[in-house]
Amino acid sequence: MTMTDPTTSRKLLTELPGPKSQALHERRKKVVSAGLTQGFPIYIASAEGAILTDVDGNQILDMGSGIAVTSIGHAVPAVTDAVSRQVADFTHTCFMVTPYEEYIEVCEQLAELTPGDFPKTSVLLNSGAEAVENAVKIARLATGKPAIVVVDHAYHGRTNLTMALTAKNMPYKDRFGPFAPEVYRVSTSYPLRDGLSGPEAAAKTIAEIESLVGVHNLAAVLIEPIQGEGGFIVPAPGFLKGLADWTQSNGALFIADEIQAGFCRTGEWFAVNHEGVIPDMITTAKGMAGGMPLAAVTGRADIMNATHEGGLGGTYGGNPVAAAAALATIRTMRENDLVGKARHIESIALPFLQDLKATFPIIADVRGRGAMLALEFCEPGTLTPLASAAKAITSYTNSRGVLTLAAGTYGNVIRLLPPLVITDDQLREGLAMLAEAIASI
C-alpha cells in the first residue's frame, strides 16, 4: 500500500539521498555491475501519480516518468487491477506455444491507433531495442535489400544491432563493437544547428542517401520523429514528410521509432501525426504498458506478413501480464484524454520555458511538443554546448526533490517528461524549481 498523497507535492524529510538510500547504494556496489549508473541514487519504495516516495519517506516530484514510461502516472488503479487479475489467471504460456486473447487485443488497439488507413499487423516484444531489431529484420526480408539508413543524434537501443543504429559513442557504444554492417548514418534536421527549412534539410539528407547508399540497396529509413536521447530535436516542418515521401516512392520503407515520443506524449497518439506522415512500420514501447515491459512493431500487413512462418518470436514477447497492463493503459489514455492533457502541459510549460530563454542567455533553444519539452544550453551567443549547465541543473533540482533528466549528443539538454497526469500545481512547482536551478548557475 502506498502512503503517498498524490495531491500534495514534494516533501523532504532528509537530505537527498537519505540515509536508507545511501545504505542501499553501498550494498549495491558489491553486487550490481558498475556499468549501470543512476540519474540520482534515491531508492524508491512506492509511487503514485507524479510523486515518488523513497525509502526514507521523501516525496519526489517526478518530471522524467522513468524515461517516458509512466505517462499515465504511477500506480494507476486500472493498471494495478488489470495486472493483479491477470497474474491470478495465468502469467505465461508463450504466445508461440498456446496463445491468449490479450495479445490479439493489444494488436487490435495498435492497428486502430497507429496512423494509416490500411490493414496492419503487429508483433509484440519485450523492449524497445528488441522492437527496433525486429523492424529491421522485417524490412530487410520484405524488401530483399540490406541497407538501413539512420540519422545523426539517433538513439535506438543498446543491443548489437541497435548500437549500430544509435549515434552516440559514449556511453552507449564505446569498445562494445564490432557493430552490425549495412547501417548508414546521414544528416537529420536540427533547426538550431543547421538553420535549414524542412524541405532543404530533407533534400540534403536524400542526396546523402543517394550518394552513400543508392536507393536500389535501401531497405528502410529508420528515424525518431522527435529524437529522444539525442536531445528532443524536433525536425523543421516538412522534413519528415519530404523524407518519408521520397523513401516510400523509391521502393523503401519508412520506419518511425515512436518508442519515446509515442502514446500521447507529444499531444498526439504518435509524433508522426503532427506532420501527417504515415510510416510503413512503427516501433512502440515505454508509455504503452504503464510501466510493464512491452514493445511492438506495427506495420502494413503486406510487409509484416512477408516473414516466413516462425520467423518472428521470443519466449516472453507479449507476455499476458504486460498485455493486460497495456490494455488498461490504453483505456486510461482514452478515458482521460491524455492526448489533450499533454497539450495542456505544453500550454503551461512552453511559455514558461520561453520566458526562461528570454532571461538566461545560456539557453540556446526551447523545443519539443506536448509533454516532451527541452532546453538546450550553450555558451551565450554561440552554439558551443554547455554540458556543465545541464549537469548542474539536474543535480540542483534532484537534490531538492524534483527529478529532471539530461539528454543530448553533447549532454547539454534538460528534458522534461512529466507523467501526463501531473497536476497544474505540481507542474508549476517543478518548473519553478528548474528556474531556480538555472538562476543558481
Residues that bind ligand PLZ (CB under 6 A): 67, 127-129, 132, 155-158, 224, 228-229, 257, 259-260, 285
Shortest Cβ distance from residue 160 to ligand PLZ (Å)?
13
Residue 296 vs 363, nearer CB to ligand PLZ: 296
Shortest Cβ distance from residue 419 to ligand PLZ (Å)?
16
What angle do helix axes 198-212 and 239-248 make, rounded to 10 degrees? 40
Of 137, 162, 421, 158, give the one whose Cα is nearest residue 307. Answer: 137
Shortest Cβ distance from residue 224 to ligand PLZ (Å)?
5
d(CA 47, CA 10): 12
Q: Minimal CB distance to ligand PLZ: which residue? A: 128
Shortest Cβ distance from residue 67 to ligand PLZ (Å)?
5
Residue with cell 520555458: 353
The answer to whether residues 94 and 124 touch, using CB atoms and an 8 Å cutoff, is no
Shortest Cβ distance from residue 156 to ligand PLZ (Å)?
5
Residue 127 vs 134, nearer CB to ligand PLZ: 127
Q: Which cell numbers in the block locate residue 422?
A: 501531473
Shortest Cβ distance from residue 52 to ligand PLZ (Å)?
18
* Sheet of strand 402-403: strand arrangement: 44-48, 51-54, 59-62, 402-403
| 189-to-141, 156, 239, 241 alpha-carbon distances in Å | 29, 17, 7, 12
Taking the alpha carbons of 365, 230, 219, 143 in that order, is the dihedral positive or negative? Answer: negative
Shortest Cβ distance from residue 68 to ligand PLZ (Å)?
7
Taking the alpha carbons of 88, 93, 95, 99 in that order, is the dihedral positive or negative? Answer: negative
Q: Which cell numbers in the block locate residue 356?
A: 526562461
Shortest Cβ distance from residue 127 to ligand PLZ (Å)?
4
Residue 51 vs 129, nearer CB to ligand PLZ: 129
φ and ψ at 415, to 5 degrees? Answer: -115, 140
Shortest Cβ distance from residue 258 to ligand PLZ (Å)?
8
Q: Are strands 402-403 and 405-407 parallel, antiparallel or unpaired?
A: unpaired
d(CA 132, CA 285): 10
Q: Is 64 helix (H, G, I), strand (E, B) or coil?
A: coil
Shortest Cβ distance from residue 152 to ligand PLZ (Å)?
14
Of 89, 135, 127, 125, give the one whose Cα is nearest residue 318. Answer: 125
Shortest Cβ distance from residue 295 to ligand PLZ (Å)?
6
Q: Is 406 helix (H, G, I), strand (E, B) or coil?
A: strand
Q: Are strands 218-223 and 147-151 parallel, antiparallel or unpaired?
A: parallel
Taking the alpha carbons of 337, 345, 394, 59 in that order, is the dihedral positive or negative? Answer: negative
Rg of the chain on CA atoms, in Å: 21
In 62-197, alpha helices (H): 65-68, 77-89, 101-113, 128-143, 160-165, 191-194
Whether the upstream peptide bond of residue 178 has omega within 30° of 0, thus cis, is yes
Residue 55 vs 256, nearer CB to ligand PLZ: 256
